[in-house]
Each structure stands twice: as structure tokens, then as C-alpha cells.
């Protein structure tokens, strides 16, 4: 098989890149290790920056997002029983949109199918060959049958555990990582959200987040030990703990119910450099991970897609290599700023096992400074709604 761009990974970043390329008449093939149903069963964050919304519009996939997404013009920060609001729209003129990542992926799959684009599911033993040459290709197996794709470029959108990053030689690759000493226990419940906007809570018992998917589907998280298992937590135990960590007036309003999904996610900050090796380009989690505080994972993948799509479009439309040659520098410059914000916000809101009394007082002072200082709020709002591409 021959294509212009081989895309490894059928999640939202790979699908978005494929659809944007299709709109410009650039051919691609998407390889996905799992089934479509499996990809759509993954529950992920659903806070979208306007940059991602604009990319969905450019891809022709934003109709349902606009019809069903919810504009959030601010978020609430709580510590103990104190709570204050960061007004995104007043500070930046821009809201964020709450729309589930699963729904983004569903919309992109629908567009790919309408376009007749090729997606290979259940692929195994994916191997990248000669990425640092002018003739890269990818081999893989489907149901025991060996297959090969020859291409001009390879986009590695296959996540932290994928093969793309590993295809860059260790001698040319450097990785930076911070592993956090706690996880997030999250549940999804068919209940109305406790508040119309997200609540990020710092409590003596640990972090909590009150989020939502829509008016009758809520997503809640609590900081937990890395040794915990989701099955160790009954629904009742989760709700009791959540109520202890959010302001009492919010706890009194909380509507509880059976969980329809429950899982624990570890937290990690991770960056690999470079994000390009010859004609192989890394996008999203294949190149970087952020803790979920602030919901930057999908949004940062989208900025990678924007830089790469622009470079590929310039190459095919006017023969310029400027965009693909500058991809790595542009993407990493933004990635590190996002990593800084996610690290800062996580440090502000969580309880760490080695925190001293001094550390705790500094944390409260930082929260109170954020509460009282417009410049600090503007800096947070600018990062939360999304730095420019």
C-alpha cells in the first residue's frame, strides 16, 4: 500500500490530523492497535481550548460540538471552605468548551468514514523503517497477515506506550520525567453536576475535582494513594470522601448515585526531545504527558497536530519544507509552557506526602495571592483557556 502520510494511532490526535489532511487533498492511512469500540470506550477529560475547537471546525467536525458542548466562562478554586472564581472570559475574552474527548473521537471517526479514509484496526507488530531516509515505510500484521505501507512521512500519534517514540534511537533521544506520588480516582455518574462550573479543591485530605460531561452526566475525582485499586472503593466510600474535600455548601448540594465507570489514573509529567526524527513526527502523548490538572493532554496534542498539519500542507501545496523543519522547535516551545502550567497547578492543589508545615503555609499563601491578585488570575486564565499556537 502507498500513501502520503502514515498515521500510527487511531485516537483523537491521529484522526484529527487525518481529517485535516483530507480536507486539503492529502492522503493518509491510520493504523490503530485496538478496535473502534475499544477506542470509544476510553473515558478522558472533556475541557477543550478554543484552538482545538477551531481545528475541529476546520476539519468539518464541529457541528455536534457546537450543538452539545457547554461554554464555561470560569472555574472555581476551593481550599477548605473558602472558594473563589477565576473568570476566564473577563480576563481573556475566551471561554473553554466542555465536550467529552470520547465525543470528539466519535465525531472524527464519523468524518473519516464519510470521507472513505482508510483505518486499519487490530494492527499488531507495527514497525517503523528507515524514518531517517527519503523512503520511510511501516510494516504490521492484521489477523496474521503481513502488510506494508510506503509513505512520504510518518506521524506517531500512538501514545506513551506506542512504538513511534521508541523508533527514535536512544543516542538521539532525551527524556524528562516527573512521577507524582499519588493518583486520581475518578467516577462517572448519571447525576446532575454539583456546580455549573468546574470546582478544583485543595483540602487537608487531598485534592478533589468536580467536573461534568452534560446536565445529567458528572465526572468526579479525588486524589488517592498509588497503592489503591478502584475496586477497593465502594461508591458510598467515594461520595463520603468527596464531600469531605469540597466546601460544605457544595457538599450539601451534591447529588450522588451509582457509578457507571470507575478508574484510577497515575499522574506523570513527561517530555521527549526531539519530536522529529527524519520523516517521523511525534504528536501528543507519544511525545509528552501532563498531569490531568487543567485538562491539557488532548489540547496539547491538538497544538502538535496544528503545527504538523501546517507543515505538511506547505510541503504538498508549495514544496516548502519550512513548516516541517520548524515543527519540533515550535511544538516543544509550547509543550514546555504547558508542562509548567500543569506542574504548577498540580503543586498548588494536591497534598504531597513529604510536605512540611512550611510547605502547607506557602500553598495557602499562593492560593490567597491568586484569590486577591488580578495579574495572577489573568496569568492562570491565559494558560487555562490555552496559549496561542
Q: Residue 22 maps to which CATH number?
A: 3.50.50.60
| Structural domains counted in the chain | 2
What is the reported pLDDT for 377? 98
33 with 126, same domain: the answer is yes
Report d(CA 389, CA 201) in Å as an integer. Answer: 30
Shared domain check, 309 and 280: yes
Shared domain for 222 and 363, answered yes or no, is yes
Question: What is the rounded distance in angstroms from the CA atom of residue 253 to the CA atom of residue 212?
Answer: 15
Residue-wise pLDDT for 124-136, tens only, equals 999 999 999 999 9
Domain match, 51 and 110 both: yes
- Clarify whether residues 274 and 133 are in a common domain: yes
Tell me the residue range of the domain where 129 lies.
Answer: 2-72+97-178+268-348
Mind telling me the catalytic residues?
72, 200, 292, 296, 384
- Could you tell me if residue 92 is inside a domain? no
Is 323 found in the same domain as 302? yes
Within a domain: residue 87? no
Residues 52 and 101 in one domain: yes
Q: Is there a single domain that holds both residue 290 and residue 277?
A: yes
- Is residue 129 domain-shared with residue 55, that is, in the same domain? yes
Which strands sit side by side in the sheet containing 199-202, from one edge to the other?
A: 82-87, 74-79, 199-202, 208-214, 217-224, 174-189, 259-273, 288-289
Of 65, 70, 68, give the one whose Cα is nearest residue 53: 65
Angstrom CA distances, 260 to 69, 190, 191, 234, 251, stand at 21, 7, 11, 12, 21
Cell of 287: 511525545
Low-confidence ranges of the chain (pLDDT < 70): 43, 45
Could you tell me which residues come within 8 angstroms of residue 264 by beta carbon, excluding any fewer than 6 positions away? 183, 184, 185, 186, 224, 228, 229, 230
The domain that holds 365 is classified in CATH as 3.30.9.10
Does the residue 32 lie in any domain? Answer: yes
CA–CA gap between residue 253 and residue 235 (Å, rounded): 17
Report pLDDT for 46: 86
Q: What is the pLDDT of residues 194-242, one digit of tens each?
A: 999 999 999 999 999 999 988 899 999 999 999 999 999 999 999 999 9
Could you tell me if 215 and 333 lie in one domain? no
Cα–Cα distance, 335 to 329 (Å, whole number): 10
342 and 358 in a single domain? The answer is no
* 103 falls within a domain: yes
Amino acid at each position: 500500500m502507498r500513501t502520503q502520510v502514515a498515521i500510527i494511532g487511531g485516537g483523537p490526535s491521529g484522526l484529527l490530523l487525518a481529517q485535516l489532511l483530507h480536507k486539503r487533498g492529502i492522503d493518509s492511512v491510520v493504523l490503530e492497535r485496538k478496535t473502534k469500540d475499544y477506542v470509544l470506550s476510553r473515558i478522558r477529560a472533556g475541557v477543550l481550548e478554543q484552538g482545538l475547537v477551531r481545528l475541529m471546525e476546520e476539519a468539518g467536525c464541529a457541528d455536534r460540538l457546537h450543538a452539545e458542548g457547554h461554554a464555561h466562562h470560569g472555574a472555581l478554586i476551593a481550599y477548605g471552605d473558602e472558594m473563589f472564581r477565576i473568570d476566564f472570559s473577563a480576563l481573556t475574552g475566551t471561554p473553554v468548551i466542555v465536550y467529552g474527548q470520547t465525543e470528539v473521537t466519535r465525531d472524527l471517526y464519523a468524518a473519516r468514514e464519510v470521507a472513505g479514509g482508510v483505518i486499519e484496526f487490530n494492527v499488531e507488530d507495527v514497525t517503523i523503517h528507515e524514518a531517517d531516509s527519503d523512503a520511510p515505510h511501516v510494516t504490521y500484521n492484521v489477523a496474521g497477515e503481513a502488510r506494508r505501507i510506503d509513505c512520504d512521512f510518518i506521524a506517531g500519534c500512538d501514545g506513551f506506550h506506542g512504538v513511534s517514540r521508541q523508533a527514535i534511537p536512544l543516542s538521539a533521544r532525551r527524556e524528562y520525567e516527573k512521577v507524582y506520588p499519588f493518583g486520581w480516582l475518578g467516577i462517572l455518574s448519571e447525576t446532575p453536576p454539583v456546580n455549573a462550573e468546574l470546582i478544583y479543591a485543595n483540602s487537608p485530605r487531598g485534592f478533589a475535582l468536580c467536573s461534568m460531561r452534560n446536565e445529567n452526566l458528572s465526572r468526579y475525582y479525588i486524589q488517592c494513594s498509588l497503592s489503591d485499586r478502584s475496586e477497593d472503593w465502594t461508591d458510598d466510600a467515594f461520595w463520603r470522601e468527596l464531600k469531605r474535600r469540597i466546601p460544605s455548601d457544595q457538599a450539601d448540594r451534591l447529588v450522588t448515585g451509582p457509578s457507571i465507570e470507575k478508574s484510577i489514573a497515575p499522574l506523570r509529567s513527561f517530555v521527549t526531545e526531539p519530536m522529529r526524527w527524519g520523516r517521523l513526527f511525534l504528536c501528543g502523548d507519544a511525545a509528552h504527558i501532563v498531569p490531568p490538572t487543567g485538562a491539557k493532554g488532548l489540547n496539547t496534542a491538538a497544538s502538535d497536530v496544528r503545527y504538523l498539519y501546517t507543515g505538511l500542507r506547505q510541503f504538498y501545496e508549495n514544496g516548502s519544507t519550512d513548516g516541517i523543519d520548524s515543527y519540533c522547535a515550535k511544538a516543544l516551545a509550547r509543550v514546555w509552557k504547558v508542562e509548567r502550567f500543569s506542574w504548577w497547578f498540580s503543586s498548588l492543589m494536591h497534598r504531597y506526602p513529604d510536605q512540611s508545615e512550611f510547605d502547607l503555609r506557602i500553598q495557602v499563601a499562593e492560593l490567597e495571592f491568586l484569590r486577591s491578585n488580578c495579574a495572577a488570575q489573568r496569568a492562570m486564565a491565559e494558560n487555562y483557556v490555552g496559549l496561542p499556537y
